């Protein structure tokens, strides 16, 4: 069986690139003034949890509508705003204190997933759609 590649929509790609730049800028504005290196991992955790919640809202509100808004806001802005790589490096830097590193990593995954779920429910409510979340693989 051969798979067919869909061509890249350059306009959508442009929206993602511009949105990503805006998201990275927003994160930098929030984190740049922080002088305390010990606070940065916790601020990264907070940024990732807030970003997960907002991504849930975007997905819940937009669903399959607005074909350029979702890639701009979700993949672009919020993809640039949140940062798994910084979290991974910060967690690895704490390996001398393995319980703290494990707590940071677990909190990031658990709180991020819960925030995304809450955002999805909030977004669906804002859009006037049923709050029920479809099963994985089920069409919205």
2 is in an annotated binding site: no
Rounded to whole angstroms, the Cα distance separating 53 from 9 reads: 27
CA 132 to chain CA centroid, nearest Å? 21
CA distance 56 to 21: 20
82 is in an annotated binding site: yes
Taking the C-alpha atoms of residue 44 and residue 121, their distance in angstroms, rounded to an integer, is 24
Token digits of residue 135: 């099963």
d(CA 121, CA 100): 31
Q: How far is CA 91 from the centre of its chain?
A: 18
Q: Which residues contact 74 (CB under 8 A, 6 or more apart)?
A: 55, 58, 59, 62
Question: What residue numbers does the annotated binding site for Na(+) cover?
Answer: 79, 82
Question: What residue numbers does the annotated binding site cover?
Answer: 79, 82
């Amino acid at each position: 069986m051969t798979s067919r590649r869909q061509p890249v929509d350059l306009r959508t790609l442009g929206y993602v690139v511009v949105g990503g730049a805006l998201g990275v800028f927003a994160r930098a504005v929030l984190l740049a003034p922080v002088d305390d290196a010990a606070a940065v991992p916790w601020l990264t955790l907070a940024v990732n949890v807030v970003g997960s919640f907002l991504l849930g809202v975007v997905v819940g509100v937009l669903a399959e509508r607005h074909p350029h808004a979702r890639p701009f806001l979700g993949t672009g802005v919020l993809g640039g705003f949140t940062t798994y790589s910084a979290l991974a490096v910060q967690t690895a830097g704490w390996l001398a204190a393995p319980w703290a590193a494990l707590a940071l990593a677990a909190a990031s995954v658990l709180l991020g997933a819960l925030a995304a779920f809450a955002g999805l429910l909030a977004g669906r409510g804002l859009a006037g759609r049923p709050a029920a979340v479809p099963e994985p693989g089920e069409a919205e």
